[in-house]
Amino acid sequence: MQQAADQKLPGFGTNIFTVMSQLSADHGAINLAQGFPDYDGPQALRDLVSEHMQRGHNQYAPLAGVPALREQVAQKVKRLYGRAANPDTEITITPGATEALFCALSAVVHRGDEVVVLDPSYDCYVPGILLNGGIPRRVPLNHSDFSVDWQRVEDALSPRSRVLMLNTPHNPAGSCFSAADVDALRAILERFPRLLVISDEVYEHMVFDGQPHRSLLGDPLVAERSFVISSFGKTYHITGWRIGYCVAPPSLMAAFRQVHQFINFSTNAPLSYAIADYMAAHPEFADQLGLFYQRKRDLFCSLLEDSKFRFTPTAGTYFQLADYSELSDLPDTEFCRQLTMDHGVAAIPVSVFSEAPIDARVVRFCFAKEDQTLREAVSLLARL
C-alpha cells in the first residue's frame, strides 16, 4: 500500500463543495452550498445544442475552440472592455474555467516560482500551484470588507514571484475591484517586470448596484501581462456543460495552448456551436444578468433580515456571506454540518477558503435559486 507521503497533494481531501452537497442530499436539505442554479439555461440555447448535433457537429473541435465561439468572445470583450483580442491567437475555449486556471499556471510556473494568492481564495488555486512545483504566498484580504491591501501584496513579492492570482468578483466574499484597484495593480506590474497575472473573472456579469465590472482586459498594460478567465456555465445557468475560456496576449496564449493540448485538447463541439449562436442572437442576456441576480440578492437579503444572521449585501457573484455569531459558538465547519443535518439548509464554511482563517463565524449561501427555493430556505433559517 502506498503511503500518504507518496501523494502529490497530501492534506487535501475531497473538496468542501462535494462534501456539503452530498451531506445535503443525504439529509434532504436545501442546497445553498454549492454554487449552481436550480433552474435551466435558456430554452433557445438548449434547443441549439440538438440542432447542432443533428447538423453533424459531433467531432473534435479545433485545439483553440470552435472559431465562431472565439469570435463571439472577441466581440464581447471589445464591446464591454474595449480590448481588441484576436480570436485566432488570444482566445482559447476550455472545458470549464478550472481547466483554464490550471493551464495558465502550468504554462508559466516553474518549480520554485512563487505565486501570490489572496485569502480567502477559491479552493483550486493552491493545489494548482503545488502540482506545478510553485510556492504559494498567501496574502490576506482586508477583514472588514475583503478588499485588497496592495501594500501587503507588494511586500509579499520577491525576485522569485512569477504570478499574482486575482479574483473579481470574488468568491466567496463577493467583493469587486474598483478603478483604484486596477491602478494599484498596474503600478505593481511596472515595478515587477517578471510578474504575470491570472485573473479569475467567472462572475464578470454579476456586479450589482450600478457598478461596472473592472476586468483586467480593460487596461492595456495589465492585459498584456494577464491570463483572464471566464465561464459560459456561470453566465448562462449551464454549469454542468463545463465550458469556459481564457483571453491572453499571443505569447502567453501560445504557452497556454501547449499545455491545454495535452490535458483536454479540445472542448465539446455541439455545445460550443450552440453558445456561439446564442451569444450572437442574444447579447442582451449577459448584459441583463446583473439585474437578474441583484433581484435575487435583494430578495434573499430581505428575507434574511428576519433571522439572526447578520450580513452586508454582496457586491457581486451569486453568493452572500452571513455572520451566525448570534446563533452559535461552533466553528463554521461544525455549524454548517449542524445547519444541514438538523435544520435542512446547506451552506459553505468560509474558513475553508483560507490557510489562516479570520476569527469570525461566517458562512456562504448561494442565492442562484428559484425564488420559492430561497423563501423555503430562509423560512428554515429564520427559526434558528
CA angle 93, 277, 82 (to 5 degrees): 60
CATH of domain 4-41+287-381: 3.90.1150.10
63 vs 8, which has greater pLDDT? Answer: 63
Question: Domain 56-282, what fold?
Answer: Aspartate Aminotransferase; domain 2 (3.40.640)
Residue extent(s) of CATH 3.40.640.10 domains in the chain: 56-282
In this predicted structure, what is the pLDDT of residue 346?
95
Q: What are the cell numbers at 350?
A: 468560509
Average pLDDT rounded to a whole number, residues 249-262: 98
Flag the least confident range among 142-146, 190-194, 284-288. 142-146
Average pLDDT rounded to a whole number, residues 278-303: 98
Amino acid at 120: P
In this predicted structure, what is the pLDDT of residue 74?
98
Residue extent(s) of CATH 3.90.1150.10 domains in the chain: 4-41+287-381
Length of the chain: 384
201 falls in which pLDDT band (50, 70, 90)? very high
The 10s digit of each residue's pLDDT in 85-96 is 999 999 999 999
pLDDT exceeds cutoff 70 at 4:
no
Average pLDDT rounded to a whole number, residues 271-284: 98
Calculate the average pLDDT of the chain.
95
Sign of the alpha-carbon dihedral angle for 132, 138, 141, 146: positive
214 vs 9, which has greater pLDDT? Answer: 214
Residue partners of 185: CB distance under 8 A and separation at least 6: 150, 164, 166, 197, 216, 219, 222
In this predicted structure, what is the pLDDT of residue 357?
67
Average pLDDT rounded to a whole number, residues 347-375: 91
In this predicted structure, what is the pLDDT of residue 2?
47
Sign of the alpha-carbon dihedral angle for 298, 299, 302, 308: negative
Residue 26 is classified by DSSP as H
- The count of other CB atoms within 10 Å of the CB of residue 262 is 10
Q: Give how far the C-alpha of residue 102 lies from the chain's centroid of Cα atoms, to the nearest Å.
A: 13
